[in-house]
Chain A
Amino acid sequence: MFSILRSIWLTFLHTFHKRFTVQYPEKKPQLPARYRGRIVLTRDPDGQERCVACNLCAAACPTDCISLQAAEDESGRRYPEFFRINFSRCIFCGYCEDACPTYAIQLTPDFELAEYDRQNLVYEKEHLLIDGPGKYHDYSFYKVAGYAIGGKGKGEAEHEDPPIDIHDLKP
């Protein structure tokens, strides 16, 4: 008898406690910036595509849900001809972001990926690519890589000497 009354009392007290239930979707939860949600492809500070189609994300992906094809433009920049992520298979483990050598692929705090049609969970490059640099504002792969692209020749990357003149006879 006493325990019943006690339970009623405790339940009654909870009416005055702070509520844990969030009124989703009316109220959105506050997620940390490094939350692992929907995957995006970012651009470097110059607004160019960061992805160089190295295939590392696809190789690291435990569910094999990333596929892409590398291509190269006239200036020597590599980019993915197509880039596809099948979000119906993705487990948001973040390995792809971890593997990415150019900070191109990043996970965002957006987790709202529900669809009525499974097919709509397949994202192509145009769905993945965003306009900003994401979490990493300054990094531009080609500025540090010793690989020449249009507008940046040999020896113009960080920590590089100008190209050697092989006809020079100096020792």
Chain B
Amino acid sequence: MVTINIDGKNYQVEPKNNLLQTVLSLGLDLPYFCWHPAMGSVGSCRQCAVKKYADENDQKGRIVMACMEPVVDGMRISLNDPEVKKFRENIIELLMTNHPHDCPVCDEGGECHLQDMTLMSGHNYRRFEFNKRTHNNQYLGPFINHEMNRCIACYRCVRFYREYAGGRDFNVFASRNRVFFGRYEDGVLESEFSGNLVEICPTGVFTDKTYKKHYTRKWDLTTAPSICHNCSLGCNIIAGERYGAIRRIASRYNGKVNGYFICDRGRFGYEYVNSDQRIKEPLRRGQASGQLEPVDVSTAFEFVKNIVSKKGKILGIGSPKASVESNFALQKFVGKENFFAGVSGPEHRLTLKAMDIMQNGPSNVPSLKETEKADVVLVLGEDVTNTAPMLALSLRQASRVKPMELPIKMNIPTWHELAAMELIQDERGPFFVLTPSETKLDDVATATYRNAPDNIARMGFAIAHEIDHNAPAVEDLTEEEKKLAKQIADELVAAKKPLIVSGTSLLNEKILEAAANIGRAIDKKEKIANLFFVLPEANSFGLAMLEDKALDQALQAAENNKYDAVVILENDLYRRLPASEADRLLNSAGKVVALHYLQNQTTEKADLVIPVGPFTESDGTLINNEGRAQRFFQVFYPQETIKESWRWLAGFMEDNGLVGEDELVNLDDLINAVVSDYPAISAIKEAAPGSQFRINGQKIPRASHRFSGRTSINAMCRSANQNHRKMQILPCPLPWKATMDRCRRPPCRVSGTLAGIRYRLLISFKLKLAADCMAVIPAYVCLNRAWKMNLIILKKCRPCSKHKKTTGWPFRSICFTAATNSAVLRPALKN
């Protein structure tokens, strides 16, 4: 701890960050553009100027850039000195000389960093009388829109795309005010992380094209914290809705999992929720027509009652994409002995194996964010860019850990990106990729090894043997292989934080065993290895915790026992089994009841199809690959017949007297039931607060304070053709409510950074303030992400000291989510 003096007031701070981050973390306002907490400082925008004084007698001081300034004891600075304020205003004025007059048609408007900073610095009248420079735009693919005129040349995009995410097809061209950020030629951006440009860019140069198709201002979105369902990592996302359709997905800061970013699959892979192929009402196969026909809910209940009342045996098939609660509800409905995980046998056994190694095996299981800190990385048979993209991004950062020791040794702080990168150049730490085919991580690899999965496993055993000679040896290795195994073993032993990444994608059990053996061998060297396993799907872990029987056993059971019906939960058997086996299973199990949100081959074969909500229309818990339980919440309330899977199943149970009336009514009841049946995953209860949670006695509104159109959305004109869906506001059993109604003041207040500024603007209700544009979308309206989304899960209203320090990025300035939105199961499992 050191003491610094800001405008005559003393503050106690940690000296590890730069001055800008320190100032922002203290809750003081200072505008900036190019600095980003994940990418460090380069000092290119000149916006975060402060005045620095030599000592208390120094009255004059000098202007320095806060982002390039280390924090030292006894430092005296001023943020509000008139000269430095004028300097910042002039910088904005210069940045604005070429900014086009297009805020009303800009998708960034309302969540624009440039708008906020312009308002904040006070520049409001254009004095520059000359022409604006213009740029032609590029086609950057179906996801990213390019509008180069809006650029202020902060260089964040190119730093993220090239240096952070390792993309090669994007760069900066030309010089002075003509600089251009884009591709060499028109074309689709190749990086898997290109969507982050939308959030990285402080203005509207890069915007989300999928969002543009059904654009809504940010303040009009009704949002909920959610979890990405596209891979096993469980990145935290925010889903936004308006007029009954999902509008966009944005990343949600979680300091333990995804940090500030998400991959393109997570960001852009949501449109199926709005698809025409959605199943919107129960469908029953008509006896006469043989086709699926829409029926009402009571008919669906009757159909199920007919089966249950005849003492029919029902086979249940779960899903690794459905929540723990839904899977549990099905298991409870059909009985434990009749419930099977909806995953192919080999895949499920591999998942169980990986979980067994995590629980009972050697080594530590790091969180996704911790993998960034590993100094030696061994990827054993997993193409992580495809199976868990955000892990690839983390590993890329890990490859810089060892070279970063050099700047640290030379007293260059790690946040000083410009100097550190200059020193280490393209240096990468020890990084080994052992996969059957080329991967996108090969460019950072020290050595790669291409061979069949079994041979990769053999290499793994050989490495373990090299580290610890008691581990079983491998025969018949070529000289080169021996040399590589020795090299990898030496690096792993020398490492401070060795990391072994493996996974289930090659369906090879030996690879997992080899990874475990390496971990065990390293542990014997009195080090702690980190073992990170990638699992097949979003809730593979959770499903495997509930059930160890898979589809091959289900097929046997169906053929041996007489089943009257099979209930398939959010799953397509034709993607899990060969078509012939799936046919056999469906044919031998009697009536087929499928719960799904989209039409697929399985629903086509079904006798009854139940419409359920995908992740945006249901609540539940997912357990990610490291055993972290995370809750996702309903973003909007769909048409009446679409319900969460667990709600349908609980309804079936209640209808047939399998549970008491009002026993399983809401998510809390179901979670309690899961916890009482499976104490090993009792941590899912801790993943998020229950429905009784209130802040200052209020439920937490999911719409922003400035949500518009409340009194006209549902007011329908007689003559007009109404083809869009109505907004529905239903009583919600969760700790949220959909609107801001009767919410006189925000339930809690963000401390620090821009959130504060935005809040004040909200009150002052200032229109037409910002520079250049005749009327700029005023910044008073955009609070969702900064203020609401991250705070909704917090247990206390004040940020704890631990988190205060790590904040700074205004859009998600608080990382409460990390502390309370997830609960790691592993300690519980170990007991």
- Residues of A with Cβ closer than 8 Å to B? 52-56, 58-61, 63-70, 72, 78, 82, 84-86, 88-89, 95, 98-102, 117, 119-120, 122-124, 126-127, 141, 144-148, 154-155, 157, 159-164, 166, 168, 171
A47 to B147, CA, bound (A): 26
- B272 at interface by CB-CB < 8 Å: no
- B137 at interface by CB-CB < 8 Å: yes
A56 to B136, CA, bound (A): 28
Inter-chain pairs besides A54-B109, A65-B711, A159-B130, 13 sampled, C-beta below 8 Å: A56-B775, A59-B778, A63-B711, A64-B712, A68-B709, A85-B712, A101-B103, A119-B715, A122-B715, A145-B101, A147-B149, A154-B149, A164-B174
A19 to B176, CA, bound (A): 72
A18 to B178, CA, bound (A): 71
A161 to B708, CA, bound (A): 38
- A52, B134: Cβ atoms closer than 8 Å: no
Select from chain B the residue with minimum beta-carbon distance to A164: B178
- A64, B709: Cβ atoms closer than 8 Å: yes
- A141, B104: Cβ atoms closer than 8 Å: yes
A53 to B219, CA, bound (A): 14
A171 to B110, CA, bound (A): 36
Q: Which 5 residue pairs across A and B have the least CB separation, nearest first?
A: A146-B100, A67-B709, A54-B104, A58-B708, A101-B775
A144 to B131, CA, bound (A): 12
Select from chain A the residue with minimum beta-carbon distance to B716: A122
Tell me how far the C-beta of A88 lies from the nearest C-beta in chain B, rounded to whole angstroms. Answer: 8
Of A89, A119, A157, A166, which one neighbours B178 at CB under 8 angstroms?
A166
- B162 at interface by CB-CB < 8 Å: no
- B134, A160: Cβ atoms closer than 8 Å: yes
- B136, A89: Cβ atoms closer than 8 Å: no
- B127 at interface by CB-CB < 8 Å: no
Select from chain B the residue with minimum beta-carbon distance to A126: B720
Q: Which of A54, A56, A65, A69 lies at the interface centre, i.e. has the most chain B CB atoms within 10 A of its CB?
A: A56
- B11 at interface by CB-CB < 8 Å: no
- B132, A159: Cβ atoms closer than 8 Å: yes
A160 to B134, CA, bound (A): 7
Using a CB-CB cutoff of 8 Å, which residues 214-265 of chain B contact chain A? 214-217, 219-220, 243
- A98, B767: Cβ atoms closer than 8 Å: yes
- B708, A66: Cβ atoms closer than 8 Å: yes
- Residues of B with Cβ closer than 8 Å to A? 100-106, 109-110, 130-137, 147, 149, 173-176, 178, 180, 212, 214-217, 219-220, 243, 706-713, 715-720, 724, 767-768, 773-778, 781
- B775, A100: Cβ atoms closer than 8 Å: yes
Q: Which of B134, B137, B778 lies at the interface centre, i.e. has the most chain A CB atoms within 10 A of its CB?
A: B134
Of A60, A127, A161, which one neighbours B767 at CB under 8 angstroms?
A60
Of B173, B707, B712, which one neighbours A89 at CB under 8 angstroms?
B712
Q: In the assembled complex, which residues on chain A have CB atoms less than 8 Å from the CB atom of B132?
A: 146, 159-161
Known contacts A164-B174, A164-B178; is-contact A55 B708 (Cβ 8 Å): yes
A163 to B243, CA, bound (A): 39
Q: In the assembled complex, which residues on chain A have CB atoms less than 8 Å from the CB atom of B718?
A: 117, 119-120, 122
Select from chain B the residue with minimum beta-carbon distance to A78: B105
Tell me how far the C-beta of B776 lies from the nearest C-beta in chain A, rounded to whole angstroms. Answer: 8
Of B131, B216, B715, B716, which one neighbours A160 at CB under 8 angstroms?
B131
Of B101, B178, B708, which one neighbours A144 at CB under 8 angstroms?
B101
Q: In the assembled complex, which residues on chain B have CB atoms less than 8 Å from the CB atom of A171?
A: 175-176
A159 to B391, CA, bound (A): 47
Of B104, B130, B176, which one neighbours A52 at CB under 8 angstroms?
B104
Q: In the assembled complex, which residues on chain B have CB atoms less than 8 Å from the CB atom of A95?
A: 767
Q: In the assembled complex, which residues on chain B have CB atoms less than 8 Å from the CB atom of A69?
A: 214, 216, 243, 724
Known contacts A85-B712, A171-B175; is-contact A70 B134 (Cβ 8 Å): no
Known contacts A54-B105, A59-B217; is-contact A146 B149 (Cβ 8 Å): yes
A106 to B685, CA, bound (A): 54
A60 to B780, CA, bound (A): 10
A56 to B483, CA, bound (A): 66
Of A84, A127, A163, which one neighbours B136 at CB under 8 angstroms?
A163
Q: In the assembled complex, which residues on chain A have CB atoms less than 8 Å from the CB atom of B706?
A: 59
Tell me how far the C-beta of B738 lies from the nearest C-beta in chain A, rounded to whole angstroms. Answer: 14
A120 to B134, CA, bound (A): 47
- A154, B712: Cβ atoms closer than 8 Å: no
Of B133, B212, B217, which one neighbours A164 at CB under 8 angstroms?
B133
| Cβ contacts A to B, 14 pairs, < 8 Å | A59-B781, A60-B767, A68-B709, A72-B212, A78-B105, A89-B715, A119-B717, A120-B718, A145-B100, A146-B100, A146-B134, A154-B134, A154-B149, A159-B132
A82 to B214, CA, bound (A): 12
A124 to B718, CA, bound (A): 10
Select from chain A the residue with minimum beta-carbon distance to B98: A146
- B136, A124: Cβ atoms closer than 8 Å: no
- B134, A58: Cβ atoms closer than 8 Å: no
Tell me how far the C-beta of A85 lies from the nearest C-beta in chain B, rounded to whole angstroms. Answer: 7
A61 to B137, CA, bound (A): 35
A67 to B243, CA, bound (A): 10
Q: In the assembled complex, which residues on chain A have CB atoms less than 8 Å from the CB atom of B717?
A: 84, 119-120, 122-124, 127
- B708, A164: Cβ atoms closer than 8 Å: no
Q: In the assembled complex, which residues on chain A have CB atoms less than 8 Å from the CB atom of B777?
A: 54-56, 59
Of A61, A99, A141, A155, which one neighbours B134 at CB under 8 angstroms?
A155
Known contacts A161-B134, A164-B178; is-contact A147 B775 (Cβ 8 Å): no
A102 to B774, CA, bound (A): 9
Q: In the assembled complex, which residues on chain B have CB atoms less than 8 Å from the CB atom of A159?
A: 130-132
A138 to B101, CA, bound (A): 17
Known contacts A99-B775, A145-B101, A160-B131; is-contact A67 B137 (Cβ 8 Å): no
Q: In the assembled complex, which residues on chain B have CB atoms less than 8 Å from the CB atom of A154?
A: 134-137, 149
Q: In the assembled complex, which residues on chain B have CB atoms less than 8 Å from the CB atom of A98?
A: 767-768
Tell me how far the C-beta of A155 lies from the nearest C-beta in chain B, rounded to whole angstroms. Answer: 4
A171 to B176, CA, bound (A): 8
Tell me how far the C-beta of A78 lies from the nearest C-beta in chain B, rounded to whole angstroms. Answer: 5
A81 to B706, CA, bound (A): 21
- A101, B712: Cβ atoms closer than 8 Å: no
Q: In the assembled complex, which residues on chain B have CB atoms less than 8 Å from the CB atom of A52?
A: 104-105
- B715, A101: Cβ atoms closer than 8 Å: no
Q: Which of B137, B180, B720 lies at the interface centre, i.e. has the most chain A CB atoms within 10 A of its CB?
A: B720
Of B102, B109, B137, B715, which one neighbours A86 at CB under 8 angstroms?
B715
Select from chain A the residue with minimum beta-carbon distance to B126: A159
A64 to B712, CA, bound (A): 7
- A161, B135: Cβ atoms closer than 8 Å: no
A141 to B104, CA, bound (A): 10
- B767, A67: Cβ atoms closer than 8 Å: no
- A59, B708: Cβ atoms closer than 8 Å: yes
Known contacts A98-B767, A102-B104; is-contact A162 B134 (Cβ 8 Å): yes
- A99, B716: Cβ atoms closer than 8 Å: no
- A146, B724: Cβ atoms closer than 8 Å: no
Tell me how far the C-beta of A150 lies from the nearest C-beta in chain B, rounded to whole angstroms. Answer: 14
Q: In the assembled complex, which residues on chain A have CB atoms less than 8 Å from the CB atom of B149?
A: 146-147, 154
Tell me how far the C-beta of A94 lies from the nearest C-beta in chain B, rounded to whole angstroms. Answer: 12
A168 to B214, CA, bound (A): 38
- B708, A64: Cβ atoms closer than 8 Å: yes
Q: In the assembled complex, which residues on chain A have CB atoms less than 8 Å from the CB atom of B104?
A: 52, 54, 56, 101-102, 141, 145
Select from chain B the residue with minimum beta-carbon distance to A76: B105
Tell me how far the C-beta of B151 lies from the nearest C-beta in chain A, rounded to whole angstroms. Answer: 11
Q: Which of B109, B136, B176, B713 lies at the interface centre, i.e. has the most chain A CB atoms within 10 A of its CB?
A: B136
- B133, A161: Cβ atoms closer than 8 Å: yes
Tell me how far the C-beta of B56 lies from the nearest C-beta in chain A, rounded to whole angstroms. Answer: 46
A53 to B598, CA, bound (A): 32
Known contacts A54-B105, A84-B715, A162-B134; is-contact A101 B773 (Cβ 8 Å): yes
Q: In the assembled complex, which residues on chain B have CB atoms less than 8 Å from the CB atom of A141?
A: 104
Q: Which of B243, B706, B708 lies at the interface centre, i.e. has the most chain A CB atoms within 10 A of its CB?
A: B708
A67 to B706, CA, bound (A): 13
- B767, A99: Cβ atoms closer than 8 Å: yes
A101 to B216, CA, bound (A): 17
Tell me how far the C-beta of B125 lies from the nearest C-beta in chain A, rounded to whole angstroms. Answer: 15
Q: In the assembled complex, which residues on chain A have CB atoms less than 8 Å from the CB atom of B135?
A: 154, 163-164, 166
Of B134, B136, B137, B724, which one neighbours A82 at CB under 8 angstroms?
B724
